[in-house]
A and B are shown apart, each in its own frame.
Chain A
Amino acid sequence: QQQVKQSPQSLIVQKGGISIINCAYENTAFDYFPWYQQFPGKGPALLIAIRPDVSEKKEGRFTISFNKSAKQFSLHIMDSQPGDSATYFCAASSSGGGADGLTFGKGTHLIIQP
């Protein structure tokens, strides 16, 4: 049973555009929702994370929108740049991130065309 469903699987966006990646979860015990960026040959690196008590969090060009009732959250990358081309993973855990294994989505391969 896949507990975190991520879409789309791949995404092509023009430079300067907005990249949007969506995730849905099933386990209502999840209370921590991070997004990770991964480049080939590297480990995942945290981009931004949110708790369910807020509906939106913004850090620079990255924004997480969270809909608790729909059990959905999304990542928006504003003014997308070629350097943003990478694989993005949403994840969830039930103890704030530091004391519980993360459940990852299957990833979105993002390509930003110059």
Chain B
Amino acid sequence: GENVEQHPSTLSVQEGDSAVIKCTYSDSASNYFPWYKQELGKRPQLIIDIRSNVGEKKDQRIAVTLNKTAKHFSLHITETQPEDSAVYFCAAIAANFGNEKLTFGTGTRLTIIP
């Protein structure tokens, strides 16, 4: 099955600086990679995703890059703000046949220092 590793587990960044979270996956069949943001006691919220047919996707201050050859993908947050503080999870799925399940990384606790 799929195995997703995520690092770092904790990350503190000065407000305004950039934050980068990295994930690796094991299943070469995986082709969909979402990133979720979870605030304490709340549901995970999809913030950005990428499919294997593209190498990079950007949405305002958030971007995700994918290297299929190396089987790793990264989340980049620029101009960080205090409200970016949360736990971020990467995930991977081989989304071809309708019954696939997401495999989550272990999470990164991001703290933005004002």
B is bound to A: no
**Interface of A toward B, CB cutoff 8 Å:** none
